[in-house]
Amino acid sequence: MEKITDYFGSLVFDDRVMKATLASDVYQSLKRTIDEGAPLDTKVADAVASAMKDWAIGCGATHFTHWFQPLTGITAEKHDSFISPAPDGRVIMEFSGKELIKGEPDASSFPSGGLRATFEARGYTAWDPTSYAFVKGKTLCIPTAFCSYGGEALDKKTPLLRSMEALNKQALRILRLFGNDTVKCVRTSVGPEQEYFLVDKEMFDRRKDLIFSGRTLFGAKPPKGQELDDHYFGVIKPRVAAYMEDLNKELWKLGILAKTEHNEVAPAQHELAPIYATTNIATDHNQLTMEIMQKVAAKHGLVCLLHEKPFAGVNGSGKHNNWSIATDTGTNLLTPGETPYENAQFLLFLCAVIKAVDDYQDLLRLSVATAGNDHRLGANEAPPAVISIFLGDELTAVLDAIEKGVPYCGTEKTVMKLGVHVLPKFTRDTTDRNRTSPFAFTGNKFEFRMLGSSNSIACANIMLNAAVAESLRIYADRLEAADDFQTALHEMIRKTIRDHKRIIFNGNGYDESWIREATQERGLLNLRTTPDCMPMLLSEKNMTMLISHKIFSEAELRSRYEIMMDNYCKTVNIEGLTMVDMAKKEILPAVETYTADLASALNAKKSAVADLGCMYEQTLISRLSALTDRIYLATEELEQALIRLKAISDVTAAANNIRDEIIPKMALLRVPCDEAETLTAEKYWPFPTYEKLLFGVK
Ligand code: ADP
Ligand code: MG
């Protein structure tokens, strides 16, 4: 048996390989680029490229690609082989520093949301040396950022790196104020828990809705769903276990720290969580994980569904973004400290997050907005669309005592004065975890739970980093100008608690009464759909903040708005067209055939015995006949609405039309189709049922 320790990271050009293959001065220079962002000179780049090529060829690679994350949400790659002609008619394998650092893919087919019209048709990719290169299949993949020639970001990595830099800059100002001169860099870390479904490939191939939209658009509830809670953490079935084993191995080879795996709440639903990493690496790894999940599934005759809501009536899939801030010296700034000073610092960072989440609820909400995720948020299975923070009773009580200036009734019965008293030790309560909160403090990190399973985690982290950077900037401005640091600090923390405590909610986020309280009493936002929240990206408050931290330019924001809305429209449009197609070509004919067969049976029976009642056949025939009429009419209505939608050219108007017209019509069509399924003999039904899809993998 191969040992994990032997093959872990074997396909990654990581620090170990760099050290072993690069000359010492080249290695040192590259390290400075990775750790401190120092520019790389061409000589060093050539040496790195050459070592990388030799190593990659040793791993079986013949090609290289700049691997990037365009705004389509998936990764893109264009392969070039290493071959270069030699004078003797043979070839040599070449890869230069220039090719490593910069690539020029034809950008014209990637969404740019108008940036290309304003700027240049071509884009370029630039090496991100902070994320290791790796070999996938026969290709050396070099993680890169993707920009237009005008320097405008056309990808998700560029603004993510900028947001990390913004947070680093502001957090360092705060640490300096606390007298810390040794920390060189502050980084955010993320551990994304990834949910997914596995279905049988043969069944998947027989459903156009799964093929075209990644989710079922029809399907009656099976007799058994998730109500027994017998799947969650249940014994993993042999086929799934074999899949997970293979998946882990592939991920480990790529240096991805896949750690935890278990069955999730819904039948056929599973989860994989890696050990956390620096945000941009975690983001790259999550993209790779999603890709490898699908590839490995294919090898096992399975399909991995990453859609947020593949099945109605059972839980959908999300992604939990566990997020923390840490220094290069290894201190997690969201861990309560041992000394009064550390505690004050902890409270300040905690408050920065509270303020950020309250001030930028809209940005966090829209950072997870997609047509798919709209099915989950607010549907009593995922956090509601309203954003709030769970802090736990103990920490909430501490903040309460600080705000009111009254004794904290914890272990010490004293009035909390920051910078003087050690905070009471928090017991990290892992038993009573509130799973209904969209944004929960879990002892030393926050868990942002609204992300959809297919989302890139980049967007959520860009907004989170940006919003926290803004809180820290405001704090640093005030504290740097203060005469008395202690007093200013204490006052600022109190003010944050007073101004932003409305965002803290420790109760059940699934409760109807919470939505009422949140929106009516606390004035929190409830942005239910993508068209509801996306326009907030362009509000003056949000644009000013994002532009001031140099995370986005105005043109980039406008382009992203266009792309997100356009993506929403296209996604739902495809679903609508698929429904029309399936209803017309599969469901109606199937029900019709079954009804006709029933009618023949009825006639046959009647001709055999003239005065038979045949109540069963007659009732069923009339019910199915009424349903086919309803299906027919609803299909016509949806089809007409989709034709009218085509005429709407403005993306905002189109998205609103989809929300108000198309989606309700899709729901109206689904009802009679699902009802017809329950009345139609199984062998007539044109595609695999929920029962087969959800319970078919053994
Ligand atoms: P859960 O109970 O939600 O499954 P876990 O404790 O298993 O929570 O952690 C889930 C994820 O959180 C894992 O990916 C883990 O690596 C990550 N995580 C743990 N500590 C941190 C941290 N300090 N920063 C970011 N992520 C973290
Ligand atoms: Mg979790």
661-698 residue pLDDT tens: 999 999 999 999 999 999 999 999 999 999 999 998 88
CA distance 548 to 545: 5
Phi, psi of 544 (to 5 degrees): -60, -45
Helix (H, G, I), strand (E, B) or coil at 438: coil
What pLDDT, on a 0 to 100 scale, did the predictor assign at position 119?
A: 47
What pLDDT, on a 0 to 100 scale, did the predictor assign at position 419?
A: 54
Cα of 266 vs centre of ligand 1, distance in Å, is 22
Q: What's the pLDDT band for 608 if we cut at 50, 70, 90?
A: very high
Number of residues in the chain: 698
Average pLDDT over residues 237-264: 93
Higher pLDDT, 233 or 310: 310
Q: Do 440 and 434 meet the contact criterion of CB atoms below 8 Å apart?
A: yes
Does residue 425 have a pLDDT over 80?
Answer: no
Cα of 445 vs centre of ligand 1, distance in Å, is 8
Going by C-alpha positions, the residue among 670, 684, 698 that lies closest to residue 220 is 670
Does residue 421 have a pLDDT over 60?
Answer: no
Question: Do β-strands 139-148 and 63-67 pair in parallel, antiparallel, or remain unpaired?
Answer: parallel
Ligand nearest to the CA of 448: 2
CA distance 476 to 461: 22
The beta-strand segments (E) located in 573-679 are none
CA distance 543 to 545: 5
What pLDDT, on a 0 to 100 scale, did the predictor assign at position 506?
A: 92
What pLDDT, on a 0 to 100 scale, did the predictor assign at position 402?
A: 86
Cα of 442 vs centre of ligand 1, distance in Å, is 9
What pLDDT, on a 0 to 100 scale, did the predictor assign at position 411?
A: 52
CA distance 514 to 503: 12
Q: What's the pLDDT band for 382 if we cut at 50, 70, 90?
A: confident
Q: What H or E segment, with its residue span, contains residue 5?
A: helix 4-7
The 10s digit of each residue's pLDDT in 94-143 is 999 999 988 887 666 777 777 755 445 678 888 998 899 999 999 999 99
Q: Do 480 and 177 meet the contact criterion of CB atoms below 8 Å apart?
A: yes
Residue 247's identity, in one-letter code, is L
CA distance 519 to 516: 5
Q: Do 674 and 181 meet the contact criterion of CB atoms below 8 Å apart?
A: no
End-to-end CA distance of the chain: 26
> Is the CB of 532 within 6 Å of ligand 1?
no
- Ligand 1 atom with the shortest distance to the CA of 444: 23
The 10s digit of each residue's pLDDT in 264-292 is 878 899 999 999 999 999 999 999 999 99
Does residue 55 have a pLDDT over 50?
Answer: yes
For residue 642, CA distances in Å to 20, 76, 323, 573, 656 come to 60, 30, 41, 7, 13
Does residue 431 have a pLDDT over 50?
Answer: no
What pLDDT, on a 0 to 100 scale, did the predictor assign at position 409?
A: 60
For residue 479, CA distances in Å to 66, 189, 339, 351, 697 come to 44, 26, 20, 14, 59
For residue 85, CA distances in Å to 49, 72, 93, 140, 207 come to 18, 36, 9, 20, 48
Angle, alpha carbons 420-421-422 (nearest 5°): 130
What pLDDT, on a 0 to 100 scale, did the predictor assign at position 501?
A: 96
Q: Whose CA is nearest to atom 13 of ligand 1?
A: 191
> Is the CB of 136 within 6 Å of ligand 1?
no
- The pTM of the whole model exceeds 0.85: yes
> Is the CB of 191 within 6 Å of ligand 1?
yes
Q: Worst-scoring range by mean pLDDT, 206-220, 610-624, 646-660? A: 610-624
List, in order, residues 6 or more apart from 287 with CB less than 8 Å away. Answer: 69, 74, 75, 456
Average pLDDT over residues 179-196: 95
List, in order, residues 6 or more apart from 288 with CB less than 8 Å away. Answer: 75, 134, 136, 251, 254, 256
Going by C-alpha positions, the residue among 151, 96, 163 that lies closest to residue 124 is 151
What pLDDT, on a 0 to 100 scale, did the predictor assign at position 420?
A: 53
Could you tell which of 322, 349, 437 is best to mutate to test the pocket of ligand 1, judged by most ligand atoms within 8 Å of the CB? 322
- Ligand 1 atom with the shortest distance to the CA of 334: 23
Q: Do 208 and 301 meet the contact criterion of CB atoms below 8 Å apart?
A: no
The residue written with tokens 């989606």 in the block is 663
Q: What's the pLDDT band for 252 if we cut at 50, 70, 90?
A: very high
DSSP symbol at 386: B
Angle (deg, nearest 10), helices 588-608 and 615-646: 160
Round the average pLDDT of the chain to a whole number and report it: 91
Q: What's the pLDDT band for 187 if we cut at 50, 70, 90?
A: very high
The 10s digit of each residue's pLDDT in 346-364 is 999 999 999 999 999 999 9
> Is the CB of 193 within 6 Å of ligand 1?
yes
| Both tokens assigned to 516 | 């009422």
> Is the CB of 322 within 6 Å of ligand 1?
yes
> Is the CB of 256 within 6 Å of ligand 1?
no
Could you tell which of 276, 325, 349, 434 is best to mutate to test the pocket of ligand 1, judged by most ligand atoms within 8 Å of the CB? 276
Does residue 220 have a pLDDT over 60?
Answer: yes
